[in-house]
Amino acid sequence: MVRELNNKNASFASDFEKFIKKSRDTENDVSGVVKEIIADVRIRGDEALFDYTKKFDNLELTPDTMRVSKEEIDQAITACAGETLNALKIAAKRISDFHIRHIPENDDVVDNDGVALGVRWHAVDAAGIYVPGGKAAYPSSVLMNAIPAKAAGVPRIIMVVPSPKGYLNPLVLAAANIAGITDIYKIGGAQAVAALAYGTESIEPVDIIAGPGNAYVAAAKKEVFGTVGIDMIAGPSEILVVADNKNDPRWIAMDLLSQAEHDEVAQSILITDDEKYAKQVIMAVEDHLTTLPRAQIARTSWDNHGCVITVANIKEAASLVNRIAPEHLELALENARDFAGEIRNAGSIFIGRHTPEAIGDYIAGPNHVLPTSGSARFSSGLSVLNFMKRNTVIECTEAGLKAIGPAAMVLADEEGLDAHKRSIGIRLDKAE
């Protein structure tokens, strides 16, 4: 049964802390295996990729067949329903339009001492997008990971996707084509991450790797970080819904299950100020579970990790939300926008009764790659900024150096770095 908490109870504070600190990470430590695979790819390059692909995906590859051909992409697009392709194009445009708005501008200023300062933004030279393969593939993930890179101006975007027994999901290839990806390779797992980070005979290395994957992919991304950038290490999906009793309980119940159906360790939380309404939502969840195709997965998630929290006043929910720092936050409230002003920690906020989280997964525009497991306290969702870096610019005139140089020399002297001090002083005609 789902866990129920009530802040009227004396034990609520300790019960709440135990709940949010409970780990949902059930993966075994695979770092040792991953390190071996990465080292092997660095040494043997393509040959290692072919061996691992044969072993894990039951697929024989060569330098000519590892890359997805234009003919394969065209065939995949032909195999997709026109209505689905149109939906992908609508989503792609909305995602692109949103992310383009957040490209940062260069900045220049001359301060009161006459020193020119500035910031220059540049896209990285190459990005690698990891996409899970097989029949349970997600074209929306392709759009959400690749389009921000394209919007940022990354000139080379390549995609890796495992192809078990040679199967490539047509929608994944169609989404890659719509997103502007032209280089696609039929490899996956830690070996694909290693190829993106270090390169092989056939694959040029990239500067950043983005995209979801299993425990091996996550461990590989951790291992190569520093050689390349990574988007984040994402944990199981989660949703927190703050709702009053003016919502149809069936709506809220389905929103909770929309995340529970992802996997058994996903998490769904409801906060409400009406005990009777909380029971109605729980009953509605039970009712929906009788009809959902992924009911067994959703049931395990709901029973093991779900929670319904009742508070005396809905305003008290804000502090709980900020403590949980959820990946997805729905505010199905009368004054939802005002309540949103109290929220500091959340990956993405869905405001109002007619904004289900699922609309953000596909088509709203903001990215669905979001911080999980409380990391919204210090990080943000995927954006153009993940695919950009900045240079700072400093320019001193002779007068500017005379204005600020002496103070710098004092600090260099205090730190015992005499060459630092002299490199400034020699320009100011100060005696050594």
* pLDDT tens track for 261-297: 999 999 999 999 999 999 999 999 999 999 999 999 9
Mean pLDDT throughout 48-68?
97
Name residue 324's amino acid: I
Per-residue pLDDT tens digits for 362-401: 999 999 999 999 999 999 999 999 999 999 999 999 999 9
Give the separation between CA 257 and CA 294, rounded to whole angstroms: 10
Q: Which two tokens stand for residue 176?
A: 């890659």
- Cα dist from 389 to 109, 145, 279, 392, whole Å: 19, 17, 49, 10
SS3 261: coil
Mean pLDDT throughout 89-111?
98
Per-residue pLDDT tens digits for 116-166: 999 999 999 999 999 998 666 799 999 999 999 999 999 999 999 999 999
Going along the chain from its start, the domains and CATH numbers come out as 3-25+235-364 (3.40.50.1980), 31-104+123-230 (3.40.50.1980)
Tracing tokens 């939300």 back to the chain, one arrives at 321
DSSP H or E run through 253: helix 249-260
- With the C-alpha atoms ordered 289, 295, 301, 304, is the resulting torsion angle positive or negative? positive
Give the separation between CA 419 and CA 412, rounded to whole angstroms: 9
Q: Is 328 a catalytic residue?
A: yes
HEC states along 290-339?
A: CCCCCHHHHHHHHHHHCEEEECCCHHHHHHHHHHHCCCEEEEECCCHHHH
Per-residue pLDDT tens digits for 244-267: 999 999 999 999 999 999 999 999
From the candidates 238, 328, 357, 368, give the one annotated as an active-site residue.
Answer: 328
Contacts of 429 (CB under 8 A, 6+ apart): none
* 333, 355 Cβ separation under 8 angstroms: no
Tracing tokens 């999906």 back to the chain, one arrives at 237
DSSP H or E run through 39: helix 31-44
User: For residue 29, what pLDDT band results from cuts at 50, 70 and 90?
Assistant: confident
Intra-chain end-to-end CA distance of the chain, in Å: 78
Phi, psi for 331 (deg, rounded to 5): -120, 90
Tracing tokens 């990946």 back to the chain, one arrives at 327
Local structure of residue 345 (DSSP, 8 states): S
User: For residue 13, what pLDDT band results from cuts at 50, 70 and 90?
Assistant: very high
* 236, 266 Cβ separation under 8 angstroms: yes
Mean pLDDT throughout 237-243?
97
Nearest to 140 by CA among 183, 194, 216, 88: 88
pLDDT value of position 26: 58
From the candidates 223, 238, 261, 327, give the one annotated as an active-site residue.
Answer: 327
User: For residue 418, what pLDDT band results from cuts at 50, 70 and 90?
Assistant: very high
Mean pLDDT throughout 100-123?
97
Identify any residues that bridge with 209 across adjacent strands, giving them in sequence order.
128, 230
- Cα dist from 253 to 19, 61, 200, 284, 339, whole Å: 20, 46, 48, 6, 21
Mean pLDDT throughout 233-243?
93
pLDDT value of position 27: 58
**Do β-strands 328-332 and 348-351 pair in parallel, antiparallel, or remain unpaired?**
parallel
**Do β-strands 267-272 and 307-310 pair in parallel, antiparallel, or remain unpaired?**
parallel
Give the separation between CA 256 and CA 281, rounded to whole angstroms: 9
Q: Which two tokens stand for residue 174?
A: 């169609």
Q: Which two tokens stand for residue 240?
A: 């927190």
pLDDT value of position 136: 66
The arrangement of strands across the sheet holding 183-185 comes to 183-185, 156-160, 126-130, 208-210, 229-230
Over the chain, what is the mean pLDDT? 96
DSSP H or E run through 238: strand 238-243
pLDDT value of position 24: 81
Residue 432 scores a pLDDT above 60: no
pLDDT value of position 135: 63
Name residue 278's amino acid: A
Per-residue pLDDT tens digits for 317-370: 999 999 999 999 999 999 999 999 999 999 999 999 999 999 999 999 999 999
Name residue 229's amino acid: G
Give the separation between CA 260 and CA 188, rounded to whole angstroms: 26
